[in-house]
Chain A
Amino acid sequence: MRLDVVLRVATKFFLPFILLFAVYVQFHGDYGPGGGFQAGVIAAAAIILYAIIFGLAPTKRLVPPALVEALVPMGVLIFAGVGVAGFFTGANYLDYSNFAADQAHGQEWGIFLVEAGVLVTVSSTMLAIFYAFAGRGRR
């Protein structure tokens, strides 16, 4: 992997834009296409691209596998926790209407938090599966 200067420079150039696009897809999901699932996959794809070009060891220093495996259940917990939080505001499970003063704002907050949970679980699951495959090596 010494001669692929073009790939390395191009990857370094593209990575911030891919991550920025993932953030855009996440937070603009209310108005345009996209949401937590797509943003999670795009963010995971950016890190997988880094791993393909620069090798697995630097990527594991950047995004430790232990962190990834901790984030896999964390997203589901965020999602379910937002649902439980609905109880404390006097609504049903996964009803976000009372999160803010009026219903529409509460719903927006709930959707925002829930999409964050989806993002965390999807991106970390994709990365964990990639690490599990790439870390085995040829026998």
Chain B
Amino acid sequence: MVLLTLMAAITIGIVRLRNLFAVVVLGGIYSFLMASVLIVLDAVDVAMTEASVGAGISTVLMLGTLHLTKSEETVPTHTPILPLFVAVVTGAALIYGTFGLPPFGIADTPMHAGPGGDYLALSIPDTGVANVVTSVLSSYRGFDTLGETTVVFTAGIAVLLLLKRAIRPQSDK
């Protein structure tokens, strides 16, 4: 609860601040708080990813982007009514959706009735890997992870295509 309150406070700070450097730093703090929330929820693997990617790499990339642009946000030219309306409607729909969720930490939810228990029971005899997250990611669901690796590869290649071309010397035309 404390973590969520802090996250809400940081979100308000991000919305109100005009200095983009402070916004990037607050974004990093938000990611660390999110990682702490995930640790509280016992999702250690996801927390590790959130801390390293969200707070580490993306903060560095944002700072690199800031280095290329101005660090002061320009005053918006349009009224915030329509975006505010869209955000409020989306938020209300999401909150309405949470009423349909089962209570937190209940064992006999549809989520736990599926094959999850089989993975927990079979991971050690099947693969000898104690961390079920690793065995599901790499072995049972290896094809999905291959797809994810390909997504990372595609994203990297796309960024290289976009950014590398711009620094080609002028005589190349």
**Which residues on A are within 8 Å of B, measured CB to CB?**
25, 29-35, 37-38, 41-42, 44-45, 48, 52, 69, 72-73, 75-76, 79-80, 83, 93-94, 96, 103-105, 107-108, 110-111, 114-115, 117-118, 121-122, 124-126, 128-130, 132-139
Contact = CB atoms under 8 A, between A and B. Distances in A.
Interface string B45-59: 101110011001100
A138 B68 contact: yes
A102 B138 CA distance: 18
Contacts of B48: 25, 33-34, 38
Interface residues of B, number: 45
Nearest to B144: A94
B76 interface: no
Nearest to B146: A79
B153 A76 contact: yes
Interface of B: 44-45, 47-49, 52-53, 56-57, 60-61, 64-65, 67-68, 125-131, 133-135, 137-139, 142-143, 145-146, 149-150, 152-153, 155-157, 159-160, 163-164, 166-167
Contact of A129 (B47, B129, B159): B159
B142 to A, nearest CB: 4
Contacts of B131: 29-33
A94 B146 contact: yes
Contact of B156 (A33, A37, A72, A133): A72
B156 to A, nearest CB: 3
Given A31-B131, A111-B134, A41 B49 contact: yes
